[in-house]
Structure 1
């Protein structure tokens, strides 16, 4: 943790496929988007209505990246905690844009919207090897680990 680091927790739904890549240094990392949408009760019409939406780009590293891809899919309810910041960039048309980025320390299902079965991976040295370097066109879901012997 750094001085004046801004950390937050986002609760929402996975809004994109979770893709895992391997850095040139051999570290696994993943990127995906999360949407958090407010729901408000409209007392005049006696109905729930959608409110403001927030899109956040999430990145995570190591086992967090691998396990996020193995455990979550687009549309799943999720909670993500980490360091938040903005990323300024220029679009293809030359327009300046800003995105909200969250460097995740923890990722997990939001159990208020689903149930989960927790499985701890075995410490198989083969499973701890970095994933092969991939490109977006060839990315495949990672295989699930074999269950640990009882």
Structure 2
């Protein structure tokens, strides 16, 4: 079972984007600070900040986050929450980190405005049609063209 959640917070780091040489895949990662606010005795107070590592494993999402999101931006992120655990080699201490594998990322419009612009998709170009190695030999058509007469039956 996946723990799919939606969180709000502020981007707390630069967006780290990695791609391969052919630009076929992209991976983006950033830190999100989630600080609850509440009223006590008539004044607003900040609660304890929870830091999440956000990973964008989808190529298009990663590139769009890189183009749209900056450090400090208020975001809404939906994804699968996981915990990464490891043992510190020097101390033997077990460490854990909360990681959110993002499915969707957007600006929090409750705290500002944003303008949506569709991303241009770059699709690989198909090989030229006259290349028989790709499409095989084309058979000549025996059907008459638009300017030719049909044979009498």
Using the size of structure 2 for normalisation, the TM-score is: 0.73
Q: Once the 2 structures are TM-superposed, how far is the Cα of residue 52 of structure 1 from its aligned partner?
A: 2.1
Task: Tell whether 2:43 aligns with 1:47.
Answer: yes
Q: Which runs of 5+ in 2 are unaligned?
A: 125-153
What SS does the corresponding residue of 2:36 show, helix, strand or coil?
A: strand
Superposed CA RMSD: 1.9
Structure with a larger share of its residues in strand: 1
Match of 1:17 in 2: 14
Match of 1:71 in 2: 68
Match of 1:28 in 2: 26
Larger radius of gyration: 2
- Are the counterparts in 2 of residues 23 and 29 from structure 1 also a CA contact under 8 Å? no
Length, aligned pairs only = 121
What SS does the corresponding residue of 2:48 show, helix, strand or coil?
A: strand
Moved more, 86-95 or 33-42: 86-95
Q: Which runs of 5+ in 1 are unaligned?
A: 127-150
Match of 1:90 in 2: 87
- Are the counterparts in 1 of residues 32 and 53 from structure 2 also a CA contact under 8 Å? yes
